[in-house]
Structure 1
Amino acid sequence: MRLIPVIIALLAVTVFAGLSAIYIVDERQQAIVLQFGEVKAVKTEPGIGFKVPLIQEVAFYEARILPLDTSPLEVTPADERRLVVDAFARWRITDVVRFRQAVQTELAAISRLERILNASLREVLGTVSSDQIISAERTTLMQRIAEDARSDARELGVEIIDVRIRRADLPVENLRATYDRMNAERQREAADERARGKEAAQRIRAEADRQAVELTSEANREADIIRGRADAERNRIFADAFGRDQEFFTFYRSMAAYEKSLGGENSTMVITPESEFFDYLKAPQGRPTP
C-alpha cells in the first residue's frame, strides 16, 4: 500500500517528462532547441520534435512573411527638393540560427531592419531627382532599394522580399513655397504662350493686310482698265452717234445739261438769255413760245 503513492508520483513525473520532451511546430513556425543558450537543433518543417526535458528549451519564430512599416522619413534627392517618404517592406526569417544570434527577437529585428531600410532609402533616393521618385521610375527605384537592403539584412538571417514606397510628399513647410514656385512657372508659361499668340496674330494680320492691299490694288487696276475700256467704248459710241446726226447729238447733250443744272428744287442761274445754253429752250423759227 505504501508503494502506490510512490508509483503514482513516478508515473506523474514520467508523464510530465514525456510531455516536456515533446514540442510541436506548425506550418507557420520554425523552432530551435536551446541548451543553456546554445543552439542544439533546428526544426523548420511542421511536425513533432523532441528535446531533453528541463535542460533544453524551444524558441519559436515565424516562418511566414512579416510586414515592416517604417516611420515617415525625410530624404533629400539630387535636386535638393526635400521629400517625406513613407515606405514599407515585406520580410521573413531564412536563417533562424543566425537570426537568434544577431537579434534574438522579432521586435529587435524590426528595429534593425527599419534602420537598414531607411539607410537604403536615403542612399538610393539621394542619387535621383524628385521628379523620378514621383514618376513611373519609382518601380525601378524600389527594386534598387530592396537590393541594397538585402545584403545588410542577410547578416541578420533575414530576407527582404519586397520594398514599396507608399507615398512621397513635400514637407509641410515647403508646400507653400513649392505651390508659389509652380504658380510662378505656370504664369511664366502662360505669358510666353500669350506673347507667342500675339506675335502670331500680328504676323497673320500683317499678312492679311498685305494681301488686302494687293487684292485692292489689283481690283482697282482691273477696275481702272474696265472703266478706261468703258469710257473708250462710250466715246466711240458718242463719236459714232455724233457722226451720224450731229444735230440730234447736240440736242441730246443739251437735254442732259438741262437735267443736271435745272433739276434742283431751287435752282438759280446767272447767265445771259442769248447764251447758246438756252438755244433748245427758245421757240423755233416762226413758232411762238407757248
Structure 2
Amino acid sequence: MRNLMISIILFPLIILYFSLFIVEEGQRGIVLRFGKVLRNNHNQSEVYAPGLHFKIPFVETVKSLDARIQSMDNQADRFVTKEKKDLIIDSYITWRISDFSRYYLTTGGDDITQAEMLLKRKFSDRLRSEMGRLNVKDIVIDASGRLANNVKDALNSGSDDEPENQPINVLTYEQKMSLTSINNSNDFHPKSNSMAALGIQVVDVRIKHINLPTEVSDAIYNRMRAEREAVARRQRSQGKEEAEKLRAQADYQVTRTLAEAERTALITRGEGDAKAMKLFANAFKQDIDFYVFIRSLRAYEQSFSCYQDVLILNPTSDFFRYMKPPL
C-alpha cells in the first residue's frame, strides 16, 4: 500500500518533470513532435522564447538554437578583379538565425558547422562576383564599404544571376515535407540562393585585409627596390660631382689666398727692407768709419761662426785691421 502511494505521488511529478523545459537566455526553442516541427493553429512554426515552457512528454522533443549573433572568420582567398589582377582578401561575417524552424530543417539540425559551411560557400561566390565588377583602385579606396554592403545585401536577398533550383542541402523526406509546409504557410518566399532560404540573416560583412599575392608583391617590391637604388645611385653621383666642385673651388680659394698672402708678405717685406736700408743708410751716412766698423764685425761673426771651416789668410791683411792693436 505504501509503495502504491509513493508511485501515485511520483508519477505526476515524473510526468511534470518531463513536461517542463527551459529555454536559456540567448537561445530559442522549437518543439518536434514525431520528428516534425510543431505548428500552431495558423500552421506557423512555434518558436519558444527564453523561459519555462510545457510540452507533451515522451512525444515531443525540444531543440535549442542559439539566437545570438555569430562571428565567422573566412580564410584568406585569392580573387580576380575586373582588370584580371589577383588580390588576397581576408574577411569575416557576422550572422544570426532569422527563421529557427527553417534553419533547423535546412541545415540538418542545430549543427552550426553545416550552416557556416553553406554560408562560406555562398559568401565566396558572392564576393568573387562583386570583385569581378570592380578594379583594384575601386576596391582599395572603398571607404564607404560599398563592396561589403553589396555582398551582404546579395546574401540576404539572393540574386537573379544564380539558378534558384540549386539544392541547398540533402534533406530527408520529413524535412523536405516540413520545409514545403513552411513555404506554403508563409507569405514570404525567399529565393533559394539567398541565406534567408536557410533561415539565416547576414548582419555584417567586413574586409579585414587586402593584399597582393606573394609573387606579385615580391615583383613589385623588387621593382621598387631597383627604382630606389637607381635614384640613390643618381643622388650619390650628383653628390660626388657637387663635392668635387666644392673641393675644387675650396682648393682654388686656398691657393689664391696663399698666393695673395705671399704676394702681400713679399711686398711688405720688401717695403720693410727698403725702409730698413734707408734708415741704415741715413744712420751710417753720418759716420762712415762707424759703418765700416759694424760691417767688419758682421763679417767676423759670419766668418768665424762655423768651427769646421778653415781659413788661410795673411795676418797682415786689411781684413784683420780691426783686430790689430792700436798704434
Which residue does 2:127 correspond to in 1?
120
Once the two structures are TM-superposed, the CA of residue 83 in structure 1 deviates from its matched residue by 5.6
Which residue does 1:72 correspond to in 2?
76
Query: Can you give the 5+ residue segments of structure 2 that lack an aligned partner in the other structure?
Result: 1-7, 158-194
Partners of 2:46 and 2:245 in 1: how far apart?
A: 85
Once the two structures are TM-superposed, the CA of residue 253 in structure 1 deviates from its matched residue by 3.2
Once the two structures are TM-superposed, the CA of residue 96 in structure 1 deviates from its matched residue by 4.4
* One-letter identity of the residue aligned with 1:229: E
Correspondent of 2:284 among 231, 242, 248: 242
The structure-2 alpha-carbon separation of the partners of 1:81 and 1:198, relative to structure 1 and needing over 3 Å to count, comes to farther
Partners of 1:53 and 1:69 in 2: how far apart?
A: 40
Partners of 1:80 and 1:191 in 2: how far apart?
A: 35
Whether the aligned pair in 1 keeps the contact of 2:90 and 2:209 (CA below 8 Å) is yes
The structure-2 alpha-carbon separation of the partners of 1:27 and 1:252, relative to structure 1 and needing over 3 Å to count, comes to same
Which residue does 1:5 correspond to in 2?
none
Once the two structures are TM-superposed, the CA of residue 188 in structure 1 deviates from its matched residue by 3.9
Please list the CA deviations of residues 185-226 of structure 1 after superposition, one character each: whole Å capped at 9, or x if unmatched: 564455345334423432442342233134323422432342
The structure-2 alpha-carbon separation of the partners of 1:164 and 1:23, relative to structure 1 and needing over 3 Å to count, comes to farther
The structure-2 alpha-carbon separation of the partners of 1:153 and 1:197, relative to structure 1 and needing over 3 Å to count, comes to same
The structure-2 alpha-carbon separation of the partners of 1:73 and 1:236, relative to structure 1 and needing over 3 Å to count, comes to same
Please list the CA deviations of residues 147-181 of structure 1 after superposition, one character each: whole Å capped at 9, or x if unmatched: 3432123232423335353795753x668767755
The structure-2 alpha-carbon separation of the partners of 1:160 and 1:177, relative to structure 1 and needing over 3 Å to count, comes to same
Partners of 2:311 and 2:87 in 1: how far apart?
A: 98
Q: Does 1:47 align with 2:37?
A: no
Which residue does 2:206 correspond to in 1?
163
Structure 1 stretch displaced more, 152-161 or 279-288: 279-288
Q: How does 1:183-198 map to 2 (within 5 A)?
A: 184=226, 187-188=229-230, 190-198=232-240
Partners of 1:195 and 1:80 in 2: how far apart?
A: 40
Partners of 2:234 and 2:84 in 1: how far apart?
A: 27
Whether the aligned pair in 2 keeps the contact of 1:146 and 1:160 (CA below 8 Å) is no
TM, length-normalised to structure 1: 0.61
The structure-2 alpha-carbon separation of the partners of 1:76 and 1:245, relative to structure 1 and needing over 3 Å to count, comes to farther
Q: Count the aligned residue pairs.
A: 263
Q: Does 1:210 align with 2:256?
A: no
* One-letter identity of the residue aligned with 1:72: A
RCO comparison, higher one (Cα < 8 Å, 6+): 2
Whether the aligned pair in 1 keeps the contact of 2:87 and 2:212 (CA below 8 Å) is yes
The structure-2 alpha-carbon separation of the partners of 1:279 and 1:89, relative to structure 1 and needing over 3 Å to count, comes to farther
Structure 1 stretch displaced more, 23-32 or 222-231: 23-32
Q: How does 1:88-237 map to 2 (within 5 A)?
A: 88-94=92-98, 96=100, 106-118=112-124, 119-120=126-127, 123=131, 127-128=136-137, 143=145, 146-155=148-157, 156=195, 157-161=200-204, 163=206, 165=208, 168=211, 170-171=213-214, 184=226, 187-188=229-230, 190-237=232-279
Partners of 1:229 and 1:81 in 2: how far apart?
A: 87
* One-letter identity of the residue aligned with 2:266: D
Partners of 2:293 and 2:83 in 1: how far apart?
A: 100
TM, length-normalised to structure 2: 0.56
Once the two structures are TM-superposed, the CA of residue 279 in structure 1 deviates from its matched residue by 3.7
Query: Can you give the 5+ residue segments of structure 1 that lack an aligned partner in the other structure?
Result: 1-7
Partners of 2:217 and 2:325 in 1: how far apart?
A: 115
* One-letter identity of the residue aligned with 2:26: R
Structure 1 stretch displaced more, 248-257 or 33-42: 33-42
